[in-house]
Amino acid sequence: MPTDNVNTLAAFLRDRRTRLDPAAFGFSGRRRTPGLRREEVAQRANISPTWYTWLEQGRGGAPSADVLDRIAGSLMLTDLEREHLFILALGRPPELRYKPVQGVSPRLQRLLDAFDACPAFIKTATWDVLAWNRAAAVVLTDYGKLPPDRRNILRLVFCSPTIRSKQKDWEGMARFLVGAFRVDAARAGAVKEIADLVDELCRASPDFATFWKENDVYAPSEGVKQLRHPQLGTFEMEYSAFAVDGRPDLGLLVYNPLDEQVKQRIRALIDRKVGMDPADDP
């Protein structure tokens, strides 16, 4: 470990230790300095007090990933602090730990809504759509009419005849999506989490089973999508994929129609949908 990193790591550990309230962890007694004692951190992390002391003094060797995880837990580090700890100690971030996501923040929803004529949505690493804007509802799929467990992009692409009929080149698009899905899941550390979905889709769709066995990978960053729409006709949209900062498990996709007249018709469809009585919505 470089000397600068050793010293920075030692300072980081000392700082985080002194921020903790001993009473919150059942430690009592009078103290001359704030925070936990070194032996208390070592006790919580199940490591040697002497070795942890050396680590804080910049004398310890490079700890293993398992030890760093235990130290991070004992110091109640946030995910960002845990990542910083690993980079200082090992020169790399920790292995990703996938956590299921239930929703998005109001800030992200407002961002989606700002794309008035551009369909946009936020998806998880398992490709469940969490949030979308009105343009996505009228152009792509009205996800609000689907149960949450059916708002999965791959389930829609491979199991919905309606979605399939909208694609000008369904096979090329579907093959690309499978490769991009494989990359997204691996990047977010969700390989185990997608196993049941992959099994389900392999049973439900021979096409998916074929594409999955090909083991191709694609970068889902940008491209052009051709779409057949019952009201808008056939048109093209550029799409761009963005990572949500600090959330490797979330991705933002924005589709930009290339024809300004199509954008105007999308706005008209949105206005019509907003003005309709829900009971009349087809």
The whole-angstrom separation of Cα 81 and Cα 68 is 11
- Residue 205 covered by a domain: yes
Q: What is the pLDDT of residues 234-243, one digit of tens each?
A: 999 999 999 8
More confident residue, 240 or 188: 240
* In contact, 211 and 174? CB cutoff 8 Å: yes
The pLDDT of residue 278 is 46
Is residue 72 within a helix (H) or strand (E), and if so which, with residue range?
helix 65-74
* In contact, 208 and 200? CB cutoff 8 Å: no
H helical segments located in 102-247: 106-114, 134-139, 153-159, 161-166, 170-187, 195-204, 206-213
The pLDDT of residue 238 is 95
The whole-angstrom separation of Cα 169 and Cα 268 is 27
Query: Is there a single domain that holds both residue 195 and residue 118?
Result: yes
The whole-angstrom separation of Cα 142 and Cα 270 is 12
Query: Is there a single domain that holds both residue 127 and residue 234?
Result: yes
- Residue 95 covered by a domain: no
Query: Is there a single domain that holds both residue 111 and residue 85?
Result: no
251: domain CATH number is 3.30.450.180
- Residue 134 covered by a domain: yes
Q: Which residue has the tokens 């804007």?
A: 133
Query: Is there a single domain that holds both residue 68 and residue 117?
Result: no
Q: Give the lowest-confidence range in 112-116, 194-198, 272-276.
A: 272-276
Domain enclosing residue 42, as ranges: 3-90
Give the SS3 label for residue 121: strand
Query: Is there a single domain that holds both residue 59 and residue 139?
Result: no
- Asked if the model's pLDDT at residue 276 lies above 80, the reply is no
Query: Is there a single domain that holds both residue 206 and residue 267?
Result: yes
Query: Is there a single domain that holds both residue 112 and residue 238?
Result: yes
* pLDDT band with cut points at 50, 70 and 90 for residue 29: confident
Question: How large is the average pLDDT for residues 109-121?
Answer: 95
